[in-house]
Amino acid sequence: MPVSQLLQQPLPHDPQSLLRLAAHAMFQALESSAAGLMVLDREHRIVWISEGYKRFLPALGFGDEREFVGRLVEDVVPNTLMAQVIDTGQPVLIDLLTNKAGSFLVSRLPLRNETGEVIGALGMVLLDHPETTLQPLMQKLSALQQELTEARRQLAAAQARSRRSKHTIASFIGSSPAALEVKRQARRAAQTQSTVLLLGETGTGKELLAHAIHAASQRADKPLVSINIAAVPETLLEAEFFGVAPGAYTGADRKGRDGKFKIADGGTLFLDEIGDMPLALQSKLLRVLQEQEFEPLGSNQVLAVDVRVVAATSRDLAAMVSQGEFRADLYYRLNVLPIRVPPLRERVLDMEALVESLQEDIARRSNLPHKPLSTDGLEWLAAQLWSGNIRELRNVLEQASLMSEEAVLTARSFAGMRASESSWAPMPPREDSAAESKQPRPLPETIERVEREAIAHALKATEGNRMAAARLLQISRASLYERLARWPDLSV
């Protein structure tokens, strides 16, 4: 019965009957005004279509409704969201549907029984070919879509730039035998896919070398992701490494979060201060290194990754293994291509080039004139032990450049600095002869003499305990043994 005739009938007095009449009238109104209607059951099967909808069947590849009705809607209507409406119970009030039949402005509503259970869905084609009727709106929508696509492209490009290497092997300043050997090993490591372990004291340039190895490798156009293990709380490390599945725990992001391994997929992951990794997490890292797969926190899904790991530490991992503080199997898996980065005191011949490079960078960052270094200033710097290595050297140069009124930095520029303002202290003055003060010794000879004196003093203070002496001198045992081999008279 048409809606006009329904409304002329006497209205029932009970609410349920009135509601059924209103629903029937509304359905008839929708059928007559909408371009097409479709009703689905809870199994996503089409149970009814309106007369208006039948005109879309040829474009969808069907001759009549008998071939169409009874089929799963996702099998016969490309790009539809009707199944999603039934599964979630959430309506899609306004949407633009585009498929081989054309473009349509549609609305989708879940159908529920008296108890509120979803028993199906109603789909309505509100407007056929809206690009003609709603052309201004469609143009705006198209423009917004293009802007969104461009914004996503720019964001992806910016993220890729932020993950690129900042240094090359040429950035490792120096031409001393020690520096040249490090560069040779770094170039060789870059040509492989094996794990690299950078060993050296703090401030020697391990992170720079990690960037350089990535930049010289076949993965240079892929992400370089860095994580300082010592800087991340132990409770957050697993999530930082492997990511978090959606809703893994209370307060977790509903969309989940990717970990560093996922972000670095295809590229390089730099693990700084690997010696600070908790034992509980070391076994999980070992599995990723061996199997190239992991499970995000709170997920049972195994994700495969292709990541090259470069690790670095200032700690003695071999000693930690013997003391039970580091897993032996992980150590052997990391120690595939070890590169020892020498401390600054072993690279005295590079001092001048390092100082020049650091001063140029300091001047550029501080927007102050470049201050050259005098000969006695360079000799003074070369005579220090530099427990903080190049990072400490930069700190001293920056302080002197900012605090000194002189156009040229001399030994006096550094000696005038108070020890409390720096992590280093000047070497104590030596009582040299008057002839020596007038005729300075060659720089390598001076350095050798200072090292011998320091080692002799440390061995005496520790009663010949070489391990304790190395700790006192803040050098590795290997470095101490190398010097004792050159100067056997110092052995106790």
Q: How does the average pLDDT of the chain come out, rounded?
A: 83
Q: What is the pLDDT of residues 313-345, one digit of tens each?
A: 999 999 999 999 999 999 999 999 999 999 998
Q: What is the DSSP letter of 249?
A: S
Report the C-alpha gap between 274 and 281 in whole angstroms.
11
Which secondary-structure segment (H or E) carries 340?
strand 337-340
Q: Give me the DSSP letters along 110-142.
A: EEE-TTS-EEEEEEEEEEESHHHHTHHHHHHHH
- CB of 186 within 8 A of CB of 209? yes
Chain centroid, CA 120 distance in Å: 45
Report the C-alpha gap between 282 and 268 in whole angstroms.
19
In the structure encoding, which two tokens stand for residue 297, read together? 């926190």
- CB of 484 within 8 A of CB of 450? no
Residue 169 is predicted with a pLDDT of 92
Residue 249 is predicted with a pLDDT of 59
Give pTM, 2 decimals. Answer: 0.57
Amino acid sitting at position 247? G
In the structure encoding, which two tokens stand for residue 196, read together? 């690299």
| pLDDT at residue 491 greater than cutoff 80 | no
Residues in the chain: 492
Pseudo-torsion of CA 231, 233, 236, 238, nearest 10°? 70
Report the C-alpha gap between 412 and 451 in whole angstroms.
23
Residue 351 is predicted with a pLDDT of 92
Residue 368 is predicted with a pLDDT of 82
Q: What is the pLDDT of residues 96-111, one digit of tens each?
A: 888 888 888 899 999 9
Q: What is the pLDDT of residues 459-473, one digit of tens each?
A: 877 777 787 777 777
- CB of 226 within 8 A of CB of 272? yes
Report the C-alpha gap between 151 and 361 in whole angstroms.
34
User: Nearest to residue 313, comparing CAs of 344, 270, 346?
Assistant: 270
In the structure encoding, which two tokens stand for residue 71, read together? 């089929």
What number is the average pLDDT over the span 3-7? Answer: 46
Report the C-alpha gap between 413 and 399 in whole angstroms.
10
Report the C-alpha gap between 241 and 238 in whole angstroms.
5
